[in-house]
Structure 1
Amino acid sequence: MNNPVRKIMFTTLMISILLVAQAVHAAPVPDFTMPLLDGKSVALKDFRGKPVLINFFHSK
């Protein structure tokens, strides 16, 4: 691997570690419910006490 690629990978890794460390000390979020693609819904309270990552992805 060349040097610029290593720098980018290292920077990405460090940012990821910092974001995870920050999330450990984050304040609790209010409960909400979201619809799933199959029409069902999921509530955030169902995952209380577990780490949750919500990815809002948009494709055009």
Structure 2
Amino acid sequence: SSRLVPSSYSWDRAQLARSIGFRLNRRTTVAAMYNGIGLQTARGSGTNGHVQTNKFFI
């Protein structure tokens, strides 16, 4: 039984880190979509912050 406790503990930590990382990745992805690539803020870029991608790029 002494082996099961550290095992389950490390698994819970992995699950927690994965969920936190997923939330952080989603937040930064949304921020990047709003601000655009390489721009700090949409207001300081001189545009409305809309990013247009080339859908035919190979």
TM bracket (short chain): 0.3 to 0.5
TM-score, normalization by structure 1 = 0.44
Q: Which has the higher strand share?
A: 1
TM-score, normalization by structure 2 = 0.45
**Structure with more relative contact order (C-alpha pairs < 8 Å, separation 6 or more):** 2
Larger Rg: 2
